[in-house]
Amino acid sequence: MAIEQPVLDDHLHLDPVNGDPHEAVSEFAEAGGTHLLVLNKPSWTLGVEVEEKEDFREGFDLTIAATETANELLPGQAWTVLGVHPGLISRLVDDREFSPEAARDLMKEGLEVAAEYVREGRALALKSGRPHYPVSDDVWDASNAVLRHALSLAGDLDCPVQLHTEDTEDLREVATWADERGMSPEHVVKHYASGPTEGVTASVIARKDELRAAIEGTDPFLMETDFLDDPDRPGAVLGPKTVPRRVRWLREEGYDEAMWSAHVETPARVYGIDM
């Protein structure tokens, strides 16, 4: 069955160092996918151990190159989302003996570099967040300071932010932080959401149970795979064919209106993109 509408994967990784962006995007497009948001992978997975602000550019440039590959293959368009993975703080503190404060400051600088790419029109949005695993109070506080800095930058740029966070259905506090920084909470996207998320826009992982929870709710949502493009973990987190297949399944279940909202109307409101 052909997909008769745009199909967006809201959070997918392409890895030109270890993976095969051409193959991944081809699989997505052949399954019916049309549009992608391509997120930079954690810097160290691309062979970049950041020491200073300018070190972030290498991973960002690799991601932009992968997005350009996607744009050669898609019937629609791919956009780049750049930022600093919140897990970097643990790598810096636990493995490289940074203090939480020094790690915080370096991660803020990385976000400032990503903001330059957004300002220049080379990226659509920022990404940030906080650890989804237990950390010390000092690391948690430092991580929240990084997250708030991302919201401040996004408010200044008038751009969206995707967030990696703990598993939660309530980010109203983060929505308040966004509002205080001149940013609409609707433009804050909870990556890897398991259903509706209070305060922000949910980007729901494309598993059947989670999608059913999102559809049964009343809030707008997006769909994603969090595909890693890692040859050592093929199909992780979900394979690139998953979102087009889930769209097909949900349309067959009678949810055409919900799929149009998730893949056309909500991306337009959140990202300002014309699908």
Predicted confidence pLDDT, tens digits, the chain (275 residues): 444 799 999 999 999 999 999 999 999 999 999 999 999 999 999 999 999 999 999 999 999 999 999 999 999 999 999 999 999 999 999 999 999 999 999 999 999 999 999 999 999 999 999 999 999 999 999 999 999 999 999 999 999 999 999 999 999 999 999 999 999 999 999 999 999 999 999 999 999 999 999 999 999 999 999 999 998 888 889 999 999 999 999 999 999 999 999 999 999 999 999 99
CA 72: distance to chain centroid? 21
Per residue in 167-199, pLDDT tens?
A: 999 999 999 999 999 999 999 999 999 999 999
Q: Which helix (H) or strand (E) holds 244?
A: helix 242-252
Cα(227)–Cα(88) distance, integer angstroms: 19
CA distance 193 to 15: 23
SS3 127: strand
Residue 6 phi, psi dihedral angles, 5° rounding? -60, 145
The reported pTM is 0.96
User: 14-271, what's its fold?
Assistant: TIM Barrel (3.20.20)
pLDDT in the model for residue 98: 97
Query: Where does residue 77 fall: left (phi above 0), alpha (psi -120 to 50 degrees), or beta otherwise?
Result: beta
Whole-number Å distance between alpha carbons of 253 and 248: 9
Are 192 and 164 contacting, i.e. CB atoms less than 8 angstroms apart? Answer: yes
Domain boundaries, the chain: 14-271
Q: Which two tokens stand for residue 223?
A: 């769909």
Q: Whole-angstrom Cα distance, residue 79 to residue 127?
A: 13
Give the model's pLDDT for residue 132: 96
Phi, psi of 190 (to 5 degrees): -85, 105
pLDDT at 234: 83
Q: φ and ψ at 163, to 5 degrees?
A: -120, 130
